[in-house]
Amino acid sequence: ESQFNPNAVSKANAVGIMQLKKDTADEVGVIDRTNPSESIEGGAKYISWNLDQFKQSEPIALASYNYGIGNVQKAIFKDYDSYNQFSLANPTPDDQYNWIQTNPNIPPETKDYVTKVLDYKKYIEQYELTNLVMSNKSYNKNQVRITE
C-alpha cells in the first residue's frame, strides 16, 4: 500500500513502508514510523503476532494486519458457526484464503490486499527456486516452499 514510500500516510493515518498506525507502532516498539528499518521490523513483529493469534494462517493474519485484528475477530464472531466448522476441519491455506474471500464481513480492500501479498510471496518463492536451479547448486526442497 505504501509503494515502498517511507513517508506514505493512509486515510486511516497508517504511516511508513509497513503502514503502521500509532497504537500498533507503540505495541511493537516503533518510535519513528517513517524510518524504513524500524517500520519493517515493527511490521514483521506485528505479522508474526497475528500469525500466532490465528494458528499460523497466513491469509487470516494478513487480513488482520490490513483490516485490524479486532475487525477480523468481529467478522469471525459474526460468522462464528461457519468459522468454527472451518477451523475444526484443519483447513488448508487455500481453504483459509477462500474463507477470507467469501466472508461478507471482510471488506473488498482487505480481500485485495491478502491476494496481492500472497501473490508477491508466490513470486518471491518461485524466484528463489529458479535461482537455485539456475545456479546448479543442490538444495533441500524443504528449504523452499512453493505454493500453487
- The proportion of the chain whose per-residue pLDDT surpasses 70, expressed as a percent, equals 80
Bigger pLDDT: 127 or 86? 127
| Amino acid letter, residue 79 | D
State mean pLDDT over 66-77.
88
Annotated active-site residue in 1, 27, 41, 128: 1
- Residue pLDDT, tens place only, 111-138: 999 999 999 999 888 887 777 666 655 5
In this predicted structure, what is the pLDDT of residue 142? 53
CA dihedral in degrees (51, 55, 61, 63; nearest 10)? -170
Alpha-carbon dihedral sign for residues 94, 95, 96, 97: positive
Q: State the cell numbers at 132.
A: 537455485
Query: Which residues neighbour 7 within 8 Å (Cβ) at sequence distance 6 or greater?
Result: 15, 16, 34
- Residue pLDDT, tens place only, 19-60: 999 999 999 999 999 999 999 999 999 999 999 988 888 999
- The pTM of the full predicted model, rounded to 2 decimals, is 0.78
Q: Residue 15 pairs with which residues in a beta bridge?
A: 9, 20
pLDDT score of 16 more than 80: yes
Determine whether 1 is an active site residue. Answer: yes
